[in-house]
Amino acid sequence: MSLAYSYLLFIVLGIFLFCYFVGTWVWIKVVEKEKKTHLQDDKISSNNNIKNRRDFLYLSSLTIGGVGVATFMWPFIKSMNPAEDTLALGTTEVDLSNIGEGQSITVKWRGKPIFIRKRTPQEIKDANKIDIAALRDPEADTDRVKKPEWLILEGVCTHLGCVPLGQKTTDLKGEYNGWFCPCHGSHYDSSGRIRKGPAPENLAVPPYEFISDTLLKIG
């Protein structure tokens, strides 16, 4: 169960139990008031004991009932969670240990190709030595990576959605030594930023985190 759904579940149950106990408390008070109105003064003392016992029984029954209803509701609320296999599709784990410097691999995440590139020192240098203000979609390389050597991108051209070339060593990489989209001629640099051609934006960076030095989780 995801953390967000756990919170939702506890909030819903909390609201339910809160309403339940407030309602029970109000109901007991109303019954108590009604009884006070009808009881004779000389019977109050003896009846108070009976009333207190009865209130205790009411409250106990209602509490057990409330817990029972909450338990009954649990599976229905829990069924609102995405299934485990759906959650698994939302993330992809990638072993990075076999990717050498200057190499790229492509994995699938939510139906999209994800480019994972272990950049060379020269590629990192090239990505950082440009005037960011002059870019069509200004973004510093350092804002697009978590570790300089690892560049993680959605391999979807931001023009019309083709998959750019540049993953294979034999591919064209465009004029900026990154990726080249042959559909209409967009050139991306070694940070995946658009440098030339019709694409309006940089290649997107998906959400990801490094679980360890060699394990990446996308999504």
Catalytic (active-site) positions:
184
Task: Report in angstroms how near the CB of residue 114 gets to ligand FES at its nearest.
Answer: 17
Does the footprint of ligand FES cover residue 194 (CB under 6 A)?
Answer: no
Task: Report in angstroms how near the CB of residue 160 gets to ligand FES at its nearest.
Answer: 4
Q: Which is nearer to ligand FES, 77 or 162 (CB)?
A: 162
Q: Which is nearer to ligand FES, 114 or 164 (CB)?
A: 164
**Site residue total, ligand FES (CB under 6 A):** 12
- Per-residue mark of binding to ligand FES, 195-214 (x: CB under 6 A): --xxx---------------
Q: Which is nearer to ligand FES, 96 or 183 (CB)?
A: 183
Q: Are the beta carbons of 147 and 209 closer than 8 angstroms? A: no
- Per-residue mark of binding to ligand FES, 143-172 (x: CB under 6 A): --------------x-xxxx----------
Does the footprint of ligand FES cover residue 113 (CB under 6 A)?
Answer: no
Footprint of ligand FES (CB under 6 A): 157, 159-162, 181, 183-184, 186, 197-199
